Amino acid sequence: MNPRHIRQRNIGLIALGFALVIFIMPFAYIFLMAVKTKQEAALFLFNWPSHWQLWANLVDVVQTRNYMLLLAYFNSTIITVGAVSLLVMFGAMVGYVLQRRPSGWNRLIYACILIGLMVPPAVVPTIWVLQGLGLFKTIYGMILIQVAYGLAFSVLLFRSFIGTIPRDLDEAAIIDGAKPWQIFYRVILPLLKPVTVTLIVVQAIAIFNDFTNPLYYLPGKENVTVQLTLFNFQSQFQSQYNLLFMNILLVTIPPLLVFIFFNRQIVAGMTAGAVKG
Amino acid sequence: MVSTSSVVLKNIRKSFGAVEVIKGIDLTISPGEFCVFVGPSGCGKSTLLRIIAGLEEASTGAIEIGGQDVTQAEPSSRGIAMVFQSYALYPHLTVRDNIGFGLSLAKRPKAEIAQRVGAAAEALQLTPLLDRKPKALSGGQRQRVAIGRAIVRDPKVFLFDEPLSNLDAALRAQMRIELSDLHRKLGATMIYVTHDQVEAMTMADKIVVLNGGRIEQVGSPMDLYHAPVSAFVAGFIGSPKMNLYDGASIGEACTTYGIRPEHLRLTDEGPRWIGTVRHVERLGADTVIYLNVPNLGEMVVRTDGDSNPAIGATQGVSPVAGRAFHFT
């Protein structure tokens, strides 16, 4: 091997080492903490556990407070699936209409979308609104909040992607006898697959992992979401860090799976439209 | 099967905002005719086609297809089919589903769709490609799928919007022949938009020359070649372009004097004009010579393939008697 190749290999190894430290180490730390005993975990050392109790900790976490984690998974899944479905449907529809039918209203609508992106949501007034509508402390209310927060981004994403679909396709469908909703569902929507997958992954992970919004808008024991179960093992006087980390581990797994399965499509969606295929 | 559907346009006008792009067009296209709209870009030919298709609404005027007023009708109920410049195939559907899309929207029985798609594919030699997606097809094949999608609708009138402009020269020549064959076989009324005068001359029964939103002249290809009514038509039909000169500067009693390159002869005996050879294009069968004539400017002469004057040489030219045009 000549020196140039050796240098390239070394640079590669160093880069891999950095990536390992940044991405794998925290995960390894969580995992090791999660299998320790309570006493050992309280020391916060990055060491090999002297006594493995993976299964015992797992059972403990799942059974805590009358299987609260399972309820939390259920609630989080409902919120995530509901909100992401609505985001995809409304984002694609609004994006389609905005892109295809220019009108005097478009400027105003764009202004609203940008406001939606830029202005931080105010918590207390939002709670007033939810209370007024009778949606406070309900799963539906939470879904609508997540849709409201994510819609501006998804409209922009869909609108720009639809801009890359030639208008000739719409016109060909019109001549073939398609009604506007048929053009959308049978021609446009299937072509939005790459960007839809991207949106599903990004929003699903964000909503599933959301901590603050459920904390504000969804109080109540029966409304718990996965991130809020982390409070179960932390209190002023006693914290069970091994169980807390086991909980973190369990909560991390679903988004991780989504990411592993869809990461090719995410990249495809991010770059789609950049180069004509 | 011979179509019985004529297309009649009555005083069609179209404005985009303050700009009027179609300035009053009256036109009758007879049943079974292959009619070509030709003109420079921006002359309104595509807009006119889109108005006939119903994709644009005319500001005023009426359209009749097959004797029925369709001015207010939806595109799908006008009995038309359209082939787009970009082909506009649905990328997520197979060739089979692309061709059958309109029928499936109309909720025809599956067996009927399969049978009609099969027949259209047969006619266009697409049968082996039916299960492919458009991205796996060549340009010519995509073109044929787009035509198949039009045929399967069994329309009264076919509309083509510059369908060959994305193909390379050899394929374009082949598709011209295929389209002419198709027209003969189907006997349907066809309206074809192009800016390419070769396509217009070779395929049309009737050419409509458009200029600035108005009809300049309507006629058969050879009518337009032999008897152009204006310098614009004369300059547009024929290749290379007709030489056009100001009447006064050439000593003729007309506004514009025109002479086609093929009606000029190189001669040394009493030539009417003398110029210097600026450029020579040798095409094999013909040679096209570009002369610089003092006081007139460029003059293009088409002569036989073996003539090869030296660049910079002085060359005399005379027009063939009776072949010059005088436009007032």
- Examine the pLDDT at A276 and tell me if it is beyond 50: no
- pLDDT score, position B317: 92
Interface contact flag, A172 B90, Cβ < 8 Å: yes
| Chain A residue nearest residue B134, CA to CA | A277
H or E segment and range at residue B280: strand B273-282
- pLDDT score, position B169: 87
Interface contact flag, B105 A277, Cβ < 8 Å: no
pLDDT digits (tens, 9 = 90+) for B151-168: 998 899 999 999 998 888
Q: What percent of chain A has pLDDT over 70?
A: 95
d(CA B161, CA B173) in angstroms, rounded, equals 17
Confidence of residue A274 (pLDDT cuts 50, 70, 90): very low
Looking at CA atoms only, how far is residue B102 from chain A in angstroms? 4
Interface contact flag, A186 B105, Cβ < 8 Å: yes
pLDDT digits (tens, 9 = 90+) for B196-221: 889 999 999 999 999 999 999 999 99
- Examine the pLDDT at A268 and tell me if it is beyond 70: no
d(CA A182, CA B206) in angstroms, rounded, equals 37
| Residues on chain B touching A169 (C-beta within 8 angstroms) | 88, 90
Interface contact flag, A172 B76, Cβ < 8 Å: no
- Residues on chain B bordering chain A, Cβ-to-Cβ distance under 8 angstroms: 53, 55, 75-77, 80-82, 84-86, 88-92, 101-102, 105-106, 135, 149, 153
- Examine the pLDDT at A118 and tell me if it is beyond 80: yes
| Chain B residue nearest residue A192, CA to CA | B92
- Examine the pLDDT at A272 and tell me if it is beyond 60: no
pLDDT digits (tens, 9 = 90+) for A176-234: 999 999 999 999 999 998 889 889 888 998 999 999 999 999 988 888 998 888 888 87
Looking at CA atoms only, how far is residue B149 from chain A in angstroms? 9
Question: Does A169 reach chain B within 8 Å, measured CB to CB?
Answer: yes
| Chain A residue nearest residue B83, CA to CA | A172
Confidence of residue B3 (pLDDT cuts 50, 70, 90): low
Find residues 182-211 of chain A whose CB sits inside 8 Å of chain B: 182, 186-187, 190-191, 193
Strands B256-259 and B243-246: antiparallel
- pLDDT score, position A275: 42
- pLDDT score, position B308: 83
pLDDT digits (tens, 9 = 90+) for B224-248: 999 999 999 998 888 889 999 998 8
What average pLDDT does the segment A144-149 reach?
A: 94
| Residues on chain A touching B46 (C-beta within 8 angstroms) | none
Among candidate residues B248, B253, B252, B283, the one with its CA nearest the CA of residue B261: B283
Interface contact flag, B86 A166, Cβ < 8 Å: yes
- Examine the pLDDT at A75 and tell me if it is beyond 80: yes
Predicted interface score ipTM higher than 0.90: no
d(CA B246, CA B33) in angstroms, rounded, equals 37
pLDDT digits (tens, 9 = 90+) for B26-69: 999 999 999 999 998 888 999 999 999 999 999 999 999 998 99
- Examine the pLDDT at A269 and tell me if it is beyond 70: no
- pLDDT score, position B30: 93
d(CA B23, CA B14) in angstroms, rounded, equals 7
- pLDDT score, position A273: 45
Q: Do residues A111 and A164 lie in contact, with contact meaning Cβ atoms separated by under 8 Å? A: no
What average pLDDT does the segment A62-88 reach?
A: 93
Looking at CA atoms only, how far is residue B289 from chain A in angstroms? 42
- Examine the pLDDT at A79 and tell me if it is beyond 90: yes
Interface probe for A, chosen from B65, B80, B90, B104 (most Cβ of A below 10 Å), is B90
| Residues on chain B touching A277 (C-beta within 8 angstroms) | 135
* Mean pLDDT for all residues in chain B: 91
- pLDDT score, position B103: 93
Give SS3 for B157. strand
Looking at CA atoms only, how far is residue B198 from chain A in angstroms? 26
